[in-house]
Chain A
Amino acid sequence: MKRNKISNIQIKALIITSIVGVGVLSLPSDVALILDNDGWIAIVLSGLITIPFIVMIDRIFKMYPNKNFFQIGREVLSPILFDLFLIIISVYVILLLAYTTRTFAEVIKAYLLETTPTEIIIITMLFAVSYIARGKLEDIARMALIIYPIIIGFIIFLLVINLPNMDYTHIYPIFDIKFKAMPKATIAALFSYIGYEFIILALPYVEDNKQTLSYSLRGMFFIIGIYLIIFFITLSQYGIDQLKREIWPSIAVIKEVDLPGYFLENLDGIIMAAWVMVVFGTLGPFLYSSGLILSNLLKTKTHSFFIPYLLPIIYIIGLLPENMVQADEILGNMVNYFAIVSIMAIPAIIFIVGYIKKRRQKV
């Protein structure tokens, strides 16, 4: 690995840490609600949908080597249009941050701190995260590599403690597919996959960009694997009806296990501890990227300048919804729509326009 570069394994870790966040908590019950036992198909499908976009992002940087996203965007599109795109993306990132912190605070309140005000939880988390967000891109990449083993450990831990008392038969019926509900479920599951777009900022700094695509895709498949494991664990632990009832089945499932010898009884503490780190791994890159996008939009030198000013905005938006249901329905849906535009449409547009321009140059 070279100095001040990002290695491919860090890219893989970045993809994983920035995707796995709050989405995974409700994912099993979200898809089960629409597709029952076949929710896993939606998980796989929406995971596969992201792959072309990852390939496109990778292609963009191969077409314009040694340039970063902002330079390419300004070159390919007209600067004004690109600035508009940047505004959309930054709104999306801020909404996403607000939604994530709000959900995070709600979960912390439910499992650890009952009477502590939501405001305090959000403020403290945002402050803690802003420290990494003010760092450089390499710092973010290094952070990802620290969080990555935590995610792996989290999954292995979940698997190991759940295996002895799972009822596998709850997985059945396995191929009772409701085709009509499939698009809706896929879109619902797609929310759990947003975050991969962070590589759009990281890719130009990769030391060996030949391997990058395969590492990114491996990261993506790893996430599909994680989601499937969590879906099947929760399904076989709860059965379909109880799974639909749970708001955050991925964490609640820990309350169902019984360790032999019960040294540690209520394991939710351990899981919560790991999960705080996982959310840190999501918030860090996003807060960084929001600062970076704004600094590019307003042409300032450093991105860290914006981060202190972003915190109150995120805080206020995060506290706007009156309750969890509203946060999910309004904020969550807004994030979803913005996500589709900013992480799918915009890269695709840049890719297509760039591709056509390159073609013309050759001719």
Chain B
Amino acid sequence: MGEIVSKDLNKNIETLKTIFKDCDDISYRFIEIGSNHKTQASLVFHDGLIDKHLISEYAIQILLTTSDDEGFDLTSFKSNLLDTLAKEAIAIPGVEEEEDIDKIVDAVLSGETALLVDRADKGLILSSRGWATRGIGEPQTETVVRGPRDGFSETLKINATLVRRRIRDPKLKVKNMQIGRRSKTDISLMYIEDIVDEKLLGEVKKRLDDIDIDAIIDSSMLEHLIEDNYLSPFPQIENTERPDTVAASLYEGRVAILVDNTPFALIVPATIGTVLQSSEDYYSRWTITTIIRLLRIIAGFLATLSPALYIAITSFHPGLIPTRLTYYVAASRINVPFPAVVEAFLMEITIELLRESGTRISGPIGTTIGIVGGLIIGQAAVEAGIVSPLMIIIVAITTIAAFALPSYELASGLRVCRFIFMILAAILGLYGVMLGIIIMSTHMIRLNSFGIPFLSPYTGLGLEEGDLKDTLVKAPLQKLQLRPTFTFPKNKRRMKKR
């Protein structure tokens, strides 16, 4: 408990001014209110964070004008002065009394307006948040052909609203907390009380409480702080820009964490099944979704293994491919001066460079980079005989496959693994690739997301209960009467039995 609001307005303002020393973005507005304008008052607020119209129209204006006309005499109501003000004068939805200076400071910094009145030992916090926001736009990373097009923005309140609109149930709980000693970032923990597993919820709360950091800039930082294995290349927490995904996950008994100042919400726990899903899976027909889900698994393997297999086959085991193909591959490499592994590394690094430069620069320049990199370098490299045309195909397949995965984080993890696989393939051929698979699968087997095995349901959790119906394939909606079991939901049935 810090300093308490004193009865002397000037003293309070002094205190605040010392706290906000050199904070020129904080404004103080002195007004005189009450009969004969005898009572001194001051509004303290942050210039950019408040809705100025709201404060001037419904607070300042009213405070200045209404007092005398309607017999509003402040002097006679000294005992509960603020209460009167709040109840009878100020026409703003959220008004709260506060006596702790530190809390007032926090409130001002988060966009509230503090009203300090002389001779009152408390301040009033007027909720006036209203800064410029980006508005609800279409999600940039998870676009769908069919399905809602609203995406999260940087404002927590709006984001929480978007979710609430999809779950009009008082059982949807939104717990607010602040993380970051300095940043004081707002965080909302969302869950549906009668579905979510208590153990999971407890674990999430515990991990959030354990965080001691000065600032949370983005939800990804929070993710890194609370995940089970921070050394792993794989994401153990799902992130999404889509409110419909968050709502659907809440209905599955998962917990969502919304962080202020970022359009990405976190969902826990995540498993391989959930990170390989896209929200559109549920909006398309089950047949095509099933095929696409199988395709994603293949894409995962291709993105990880294809350069390594190329190296293993061309440098170690040409006997594994058909004779005619062998001859063709040999012919296509006849003038290539490097071993396959050098060739593969060269091209993979080139493509990573291209991808990196393309991501940072958008718009027309990005397109130019794509054309120069993809078409010209590739063509020239083949013409010059530095790489074989087959290598270009392999690199292209790898890159496209990586983009076919719905989870960018997973794809990045696999990208890292790809290079390790390439080194292993260069040392031990196909056996090296298999060793890599052993190590990678062991890692994934041992990986947990908030106590839930990452490879569920393939490793057993929910396998017998039928979780495969909505992970490996997508059964028609009528067949998905039960919630997935990997979250241990309290309420198991989502659809009436037919």
Contacts and interface: CB of A to CB of B under 8 A. Distances in A.
Interface of A: 1, 3, 6-7, 9-10, 108, 112-113, 116, 120-121, 124-125, 128-129, 131-132, 135, 138-139, 141-143, 145-146, 262-266, 268-270, 272-273, 276-277, 280
A132 B460 contact: no
Contacts of B445: 132, 135, 139, 142-143, 146
Contacts of A121: 431
Interface of chain B, main secondary structure = helix
B451 A262 contact: no
Contacts of A263: 322
Interface residues of B, number: 37
Going nearest first, the 7 A-B pairs with the smallest beta carbon separation are: A142-B459, A269-B320, A276-B434, A132-B442, A265-B322, A128-B438, A131-B442
Given A141-B460, A145-B463, A276-B434, 8 more contacts: A112-B316, A142-B445, A146-B455, A262-B322, A264-B322, A276-B431, A276-B438, A277-B437
Contacts of B446: 131-132, 135, 139
B453 interface: yes
B441 A124 contact: no
19 contacts: A1-B460, A1-B465, A3-B451, A7-B463, A7-B464, A108-B431, A112-B431, A113-B428, A124-B428, A131-B438, A131-B442, A132-B438, A142-B453, A143-B441, A265-B319, A276-B435, A276-B438, A277-B438, A280-B438
Contacts of B461: 1
A135 B320 contact: no
Nearest to A274: B434
Contact of A1 (B319, B438, B455, B485): B485
Contacts of A112: 316-317, 429-431
A265 to B, nearest CB: 4
A144 to B, nearest CB: 9
B459 A146 contact: yes
A243 to B, nearest CB: 24
Contacts of A277: 434, 437-438
A268 B319 CA distance: 9
B400 interface: no
Interface string B477-498: 0000000010010000000000
Contacts of A131: 438-439, 442-443, 446
Contacts of A125: 435
Contacts of A265: 319-323
B460 A128 contact: no
A199 to B, nearest CB: 15
Contacts of B453: 138, 142
Interface string B439-473: 10111011000010101001111111100000000
B236 to A, nearest CB: 15
Nearest to B451: A3
A205 B477 CA distance: 35
Given A128-B438, A277-B438, A266 B320 contact: yes
Nearest to B435: A128
A139 B199 CA distance: 21
Contacts of A108: 431
A142 B443 CA distance: 12
Contact of A266 (B319, B432, B442): B319
Residue among B319, B432, B433, B438 with the highest chain A CB neighbour number at 10 A: B438
B321 A113 contact: no
Nearest to B320: A269
B443 A145 contact: no
A15 to B, nearest CB: 14
Given A113-B428, A143-B442, A273 B434 contact: yes
A276 B455 CA distance: 20
Contacts of B434: 272-273, 276-277
A30 B354 CA distance: 57
Contacts of A280: 438
A116 B424 CA distance: 14
B323 A113 contact: no
A153 to B, nearest CB: 14
Residue among A124, A142, A143 with the highest chain B CB neighbour number at 10 A: A142
Residue among A7, A135, A269 with the highest chain B CB neighbour number at 10 A: A269
A128 B459 contact: no
Contacts of A129: 438
B488 A3 contact: yes
B343 to A, nearest CB: 21
Interface in B243-290: none
Given A131-B439, A142-B460, A143-B442, A269 B317 contact: yes
Interface in B306-327: 316-317, 319-323
Contacts of B441: 143, 146
Contact of B460 (A7, A113, A266, A272): A7
A226 to B, nearest CB: 21
A275 to B, nearest CB: 9
Contacts of B316: 112-113
A100 to B, nearest CB: 15
Nearest to B452: A3
B430 A9 contact: no
B199 to A, nearest CB: 8
Nearest to B461: A1
Nearest to A284: B442
A276 B458 CA distance: 20
Contacts of B465: 1
Nearest to B454: A142
A249 to B, nearest CB: 20
A132 B444 CA distance: 10
A9 B460 contact: yes
Contacts of B431: 108, 112-113, 116, 121, 124, 272, 276
B377 to A, nearest CB: 31
A121 B434 CA distance: 12
Contact of B439 (A6, A9, A128): A128
Contacts of A132: 438, 442, 445-446
A74 B188 CA distance: 53
Contacts of A142: 445, 453, 455, 459-460
B20 to A, nearest CB: 50
A22 B435 CA distance: 17
A6 to B, nearest CB: 8
Nearest to A120: B428
Contacts of B460: 1, 6-7, 9-10, 141-142, 145
Contacts of A146: 441, 445, 455, 458-459
Contacts of A139: 442, 445-446
A112 B322 CA distance: 16
A135 B443 CA distance: 10
Interface string B347-380: 0000000000000000000000000000000000
Given A116-B428, A128-B439, A276-B431, A1 B459 contact: no
